[in-house]
Amino acid sequence: MAKFPLVLTLGLLLTACGAPTPNAPDATSETAALSAQTTPSPRMLSIPPSSPIFGSDDALAQIALQYPAFGGYTVSDDNELVIFVAKNFNKKPIGEGPRGRSVGQIRKALLELVGDAESPIQTPGQTPKKLRDLKVRHTDVDTSFADLQSWRLHLRSNLHRGLIATLSVDGAGNRVAVTLMGEDKRADFLALLDRLGVPPQSVALSVGKPGKTATLSSTVRPPVGGIEVRGRLTCTLGTNVSWNGLNGFLTAGHCSDIEATTDNGTFYQGRSTTGQPLAYAIGTEYREPGYNSPEFCKTESPEPTLPCRLSDVTFVQYSVPSNRARLIKTTETTNSITIATDAQGNPVEYDVTAAYGSELTLGTVLNNVGKRSGFKQAKVASLSADVYYGDYFHVNAVKMTAIGGEAITCDGDSGGPWFSRTGTTTAKLAGIQFGGVTTVPTPAYARLEPGETGTITCYNDAYYTSVTNIGKLYSNMVFTR
């Protein structure tokens, strides 16, 4: 099983990466001219750069607090950097004069923040362009990004009401994206919007409950990323790493015996020729971070704050030989679970030679390998999404969405690697799969195997923990060869 329900609001988790953050508003900024406009309704919320949960959307909101006409940005299919210029801030018109005067300042501030990120529109065989090197186009939108992020934070502070499954800013659509826990929650949610003062036309609604995703089921020695691994649940091995001198692998934390606890549980790998699971132990859980306290996760809202997690990832120390930074390569047709082999019949593997930081952008196509659904591709839809799981929420996850509406993750895929191919047998690691939302009919390929019981759920939105967030909790972890 795995966890599931969490744009161009670039994913950086900037404080950890050393990226610049916008300067505080000063007397020359448009904020000074607009500050007396009215008292915000609802009250303007923001996460300060000093907060441990400061994410990419919070960094963009800092620009919009300084220059309220900033409405976000995206990269077009023509590989242009499209900067959105907002008509309204705090639900009041900004005015053509302030909007026009701030365009150049917005462009400068945005490029300082994300200019070195790679464009998601890439030409095979060519080095990806940086966002600062793209042609810039300005497009009018309704709402300041400061408002969008503030409304998202007000809604995040109401996750405990059990109405919302996932929450993010749809930067390209200039809206807040909300997944409701069910159609029966719609009326209560609309009443919540009215109570908070959030305009419903600025919210994009969908329905779907979050889930945790638990063949690449063959015995593989030494073990590598992308193959089946079994703890409490059947899941997928993410990638081999080293940490503080220990060799191990990453997988989803909820696959362990006790979630959010270092329980020292054993993980197994491999099946017999008849598909029966083998009791072949490959490692023991060494460290899984727990839930973060409400104080860690707080916003400025008076609503009670739930515990949160930055990472649904556990580090398992190997008890068998392993090679760091290796991912299995399938035949790479969609949903293929067949492992590619060389002329001698040996499995073909990717070497992880790089890992993503702040250069990942909205719209980037990434690959994933999962035990259940095999190889597939999807697009980055949000780099800063929240996913609600009842007693806690996952903060600043990366949301992947299907390119053609198909399922992109199923139970059993949790723990699998998200990555881009940089060569025939080289890859760049993006993160570790943990969940999904928006269920779809279970495809024929998603079958139970010997030793498994229950039903399989599949989703066309997936969520993963970024390498950046993993690094915040496992300092000095080595992901590459």
Tens digit of pLDDT for each residue in 97-131?
999 999 999 999 999 999 999 999 987 778 889 99
User: At the top level of CATH, which class does the domain 211-473 belong to?
Assistant: mainly beta
Tens digit of pLDDT for each residue in 206-247?
999 888 765 488 899 999 999 999 999 999 999 999 999 999
Distance CA 439, CA 435 (A): 11
pLDDT at residue 300 in the model:
85
Distance CA 349, CA 221 (A): 12
pLDDT above 90 coverage of the chain, percent:
80
Residue 40 pLDDT level (bands cut at 50, 70, 90):
low
* Residue 380: its H or E element: strand 374-388
Length of the chain: 481
Q: Which residues contact 34 (CB under 8 A, 6 or more apart)?
A: 68, 89, 90, 94, 98
Distances 389 to 254, 306, 308, 370 between C-alpha atoms, Å: 12, 10, 10, 22
Nearest to 165 by CA among 459, 465, 468: 459
Q: Cα dihedral sign for 189, 387, 329, 275? A: negative
Q: What is the mean pLDDT of the chain?
A: 90
pLDDT at residue 6 in the model:
35
Mean pLDDT of 420-424: 95
Residue 14 pLDDT level (bands cut at 50, 70, 90):
very low
The DSSP bridge partners found for residue 314 are 251
Could you tell me the two tokens for 2? 């795995």
Kindly tell me if the per-residue pLDDT of 174 is higher than 50: yes
Sequence letter at residue 434:
F
Sequence letter at residue 432:
I
Nearest to 418 by CA among 369, 347, 360, 453: 369
Cβ atoms of residues 432 and 473 within 8 Å: no
Q: Which residues contact 352 (CB under 8 A, 6 or more apart)?
A: 225, 239, 325, 326, 327, 419, 426, 427, 428, 429, 479, 480, 481
Cβ atoms of residues 164 and 181 within 8 Å: yes
Lowest mean pLDDT among 8-22, 65-79, 219-233, 352-366: 8-22
Please, which contacts does 303-307 make with residues 24 or more away whose CB atoms are closer than 8 Å? Answer: 303/157, 303/158, 303/160, 304/160, 305/157, 306/159, 306/160, 306/391, 306/392, 306/393, 307/391, 307/392, 307/393
Nearest to 404 by CA among 351, 365, 355: 365
Cβ atoms of residues 435 and 5 within 8 Å: yes
Show the DSSP H helices in 289-427 as ranges.
Answer: 294-297
* Residue 64: its H or E element: helix 56-66
The DSSP bridge partners found for residue 316 are 249, 285
Mean pLDDT of 148-174: 96
Kindly tell me if the per-residue pLDDT of 400 is higher than 80: yes
Distances 191 to 150, 163, 197, 242, 304 between C-alpha atoms, Å: 18, 11, 10, 49, 19
Residue ranges covered by each domain of the chain: 14-207, 211-473
Q: Which residues contact 336 (CB under 8 A, 6 or more apart)?
A: 330, 374, 375
Tens digit of pLDDT for each residue in 242-289?
999 999 999 999 999 999 999 999 999 999 888 899 999 999 999 999
Could you tell me the two tokens for 82? 């499209």
Mean pLDDT of 364-373: 97
Distance CA 232, CA 258 (A): 8
Q: How many CA atoms lie within 13 A of 28 on its CB side?
A: 3
- Number of CB atoms found within 10 A of residue 245's CB: 6
pLDDT at residue 20 in the model:
38
Cβ atoms of residues 268 and 369 within 8 Å: no
pLDDT at residue 402 in the model:
95
Distance CA 310, CA 110 (A): 25
Distances 84 to 7, 120, 361, 382 between C-alpha atoms, Å: 13, 18, 16, 17
pLDDT at residue 214 in the model:
54
Which of the two residues, 344 and 266, has the higher pLDDT score? 266
Q: Which residues contact 116 (CB under 8 A, 6 or more apart)?
A: 130, 131, 132, 358, 359
pLDDT at residue 209 in the model:
85
Distance CA 417, CA 470 (A): 13
